[in-house]
Amino acid sequence: MKVLVTGGAGFIGGHVVDALVERGDDVVVVDDLSTGSEGNVNPEARLCRVSITDPSLADVFEQERPEVVSHHAAQVNLRRSVDDPMFDAQVNILGSINIIVNCVRLGVKRLVYASSGGAVYGEPQYLPVDENHPVNPVSQYGVSKHAVEHYLHSYAQYGLSYVALRYPNVYGPRQNPKGEAGVVAIFAEQMLQGVRPTIFGSGDKTRDYTHVSDVVRAHLLAMERGNNTACNVGTGVETSDQQVFDAVAEVLGYQDSPLYTSARHGEIQRICLDWSKAQRELDWSPRLSFREGVQATVPYYRSQGGHR
Q: So which residues are the catalytic ones? A: 141
DSSP code, position 262: P
Task: Check the CA dihedral 133-288-240-7 and report its sign.
Answer: negative
70: phi then psi, degrees, rounded to nearest 5: -110, 110
Alpha-carbon span 61 to 196, nearest angstrom? 46
CA distances to 1, 53, 183, 219 from 72, in Å: 19, 13, 20, 11
Cα separation, 292 vs 52, in Å, equals: 35
The secondary structure of residue 143, as a DSSP letter, is H
CA 73 to chain centre: 9
Contact in structure between 7 and 74 (CB atoms under 8 Å): yes
HSE-CB of 260 using CA atoms within 13 angstroms: 8
Pairing of strands 239-240, 206-207: antiparallel
Is the link from the previous residue into 128 a cis peptide, with omega within 30 of 0?
Answer: yes
| Whole-angstrom distance, CA of residue 148 vs CA of residue 155 | 11
Q: For the chain, how long is the longest CA-to-CA vector?
A: 58
Residues recorded for the chain = 308
CB 234 within 8 A of CB 286: yes
Spatial distance between the Cα atoms of 8 and 19, rounded to a whole number of angstroms: 12
